[in-house]
């Protein structure tokens, strides 16, 4: 099935988006001043000091934009800055997309209010769609505004901060309208290679080992999702009656959970970091959202290696691919044999 494009985005949706963004922009405080201010809590000062060093590394070592983004700070007073609502038909893995000025068409709608996100999700469910709502810790305005560091970005260790800063700045470097899978996989590739380089540069060998272990588990997780998506495509492409298709869909998702538990208890030696994902409802929207961020990442990392880890060359190659027609873009990425 082709994805549905919701072209009629309501005035109220744009109003909440603008209001939420303006509120954050108005609350920005300069990071340098905060770190020098004796009233700044020591824990926050330490996080902001690390974030400043990471921000410099992004420009100096990863050739990411040298602008005013991530040089200010805002505490939004909650655990997530926005909430993304994904939707897909009951028997399709192709997500519904929504189109916006500047950002083009994307497979989600973002809300600054959890209540508004829940209301949107409920309305989509009433239309018979599978729906998934995910909390978001950082977002990019693609360089149109000076994006600040947020308290949601500082809640874990420095590796987490680096991953978010590198990822969001990558969106400012290259963004292809109407191709979220390309954009997100590119940003994850910059994030991954950048974090590895940063951990090596800072001599954090233990952190690098933890990061590589996490990346391996994430690859295993995405492998499970890919296998399940393949199985569901077979189900949805079959001539079954809707009731039979629904039963087959449930059975396929049950197998996914079973495979995860086996992998967790054997290959992962009991690591439970993905339990929450599997213990909550799984549907087409959730599977589609996961695929957007993961499926093309290995191809981008391979291209990065073909470019000998040279970021400007890598960006130039990605930009050339981004200029190709959408139908041939992913194939060009997969088939790339050289950086140029």
* Tens-digit pLDDT profile for residues 234-247: 999 999 999 999 99
Q: Is 125 helix (H, G, I), strand (E, B) or coil?
A: helix
For 306, phi then psi, to 5°, come to -60, -30
How far apart CA 215 and CA 194 sit, in angstroms, is 13
* Tens-digit pLDDT profile for residues 124-167: 999 999 999 999 999 888 888 999 999 999 999 999 999 999 99
Question: The tokens of 286 are what?
Answer: 């959730």
Q: Which residues contact 306 (CB under 8 A, 6 or more apart)?
A: 317, 336, 337, 338, 339
How far apart CA 8 and CA 134 sit, in angstroms, is 23
Apex 169 CA angle, 158 and 95, nearest 5: 105
- pTM, entire model: 0.93
How far apart CA 106 and CA 85 sit, in angstroms, is 11
Burial state string for 192-218 with b = 16 or more CB within 10 A and e = fewer than 16 = bbbbebbbeebeeeebbeebeeeeebb
How far apart CA 277 and CA 262 sit, in angstroms, is 15
Confidence of residue 121 (pLDDT cuts 50, 70, 90): very high
Q: What percent of the chain has pLDDT over 70?
A: 97
* Tens-digit pLDDT profile for residues 178-188: 999 999 999 99
Q: Which residues contact 204 (CB under 8 A, 6 or more apart)?
A: none
Residue 304: count other Cβ atoms within 10 Å of its Cβ: 23
* Tens-digit pLDDT profile for residues 44-99: 999 999 999 999 999 999 999 999 999 999 999 999 999 999 999 999 999 999 98
To which H or E segment does residue 82 belong?
Answer: strand 82-88
When pLDDT is averaged across residues 6-13 and rounded to a whole number, the result is 58
Report CA torsion sign: 189, 192, 196, 197.
positive
When pLDDT is averaged across residues 318-333 and rounded to a whole number, the result is 93
Question: The tokens of 128 are what?
Answer: 């018979």
Confidence of residue 9 (pLDDT cuts 50, 70, 90): low
pLDDT of 108 above 50? yes
- The strand pairing partners of 110, in sequence order, are 84
Question: The tokens of 269 are what?
Answer: 């030696």
Bridging pattern class, strands 5-6 and 97-100? parallel
């Amino acid at each position: 099935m082709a994805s549905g494009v919701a072209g009629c985005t309501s005035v109220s949706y744009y109003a909440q988006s603008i209001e939420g963004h303006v509120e954050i922009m108005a609350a920005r405080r300069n990071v340098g001043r905060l770190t020098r201010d004796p009233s700044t809590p020591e824990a926050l000062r330490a996080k902001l000091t690390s974030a400043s060093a990471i921000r410099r590394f992004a420009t100096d070592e990863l050739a990411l934009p040298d602008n005013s983004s991530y040089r200010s700070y805002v505490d939004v007073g909650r655990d997530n800055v926005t909430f993304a609502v994904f939707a897909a038909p009951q028997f399709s893995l192709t997500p519904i997309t929504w189109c916006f000025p500047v950002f083009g068409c994307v497979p989600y709608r973002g809300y600054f209010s959890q209540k508004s996100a829940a209301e949107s999700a409920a309305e989509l469910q009433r239309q018979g769609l599978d729906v998934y709502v995910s909390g978001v810790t950082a977002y990019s305005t693609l360089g149109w505004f000076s994006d600040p560091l947020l308290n949601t970005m500082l809640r874990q260790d420095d590796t987490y901060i680096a991953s978010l800063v590198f990822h969001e700045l990558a969106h400012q470097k290259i963004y292809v309208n109407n191709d979220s899978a390309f954009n997100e996989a590119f940003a994850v590739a910059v994030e991954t290679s950048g974090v590895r380089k940063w951990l090596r540069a800072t001599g954090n060998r233990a952190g690098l080992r933890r990061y590589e272990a996490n990346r391996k588990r994430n690859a295993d997780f995405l492998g499970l999702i890919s296998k399940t998506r393949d199985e569901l495509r077979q189900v949805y492409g079959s001539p079954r009656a809707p009731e039979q298709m629904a039963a087959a869909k449930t059975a396929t998702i049950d197998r996914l959970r079973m495979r995860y538990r086996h992998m967790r208890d054997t290959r992962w030696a009991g690591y439970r970091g993905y339990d929450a994902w599997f213990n909550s409802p799984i549907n087409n929207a959730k599977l589609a959202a996961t695929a957007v961020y993961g499926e093309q990442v290995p191809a981008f990392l391979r291209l990065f290696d073909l470019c000998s880890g040279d970021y400007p060359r890598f960006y130039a190659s990605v930009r050339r691919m981004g200029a190709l027609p959408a139908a041939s873009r992913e194939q060009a990425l997969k088939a790339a044999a050289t950086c140029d």
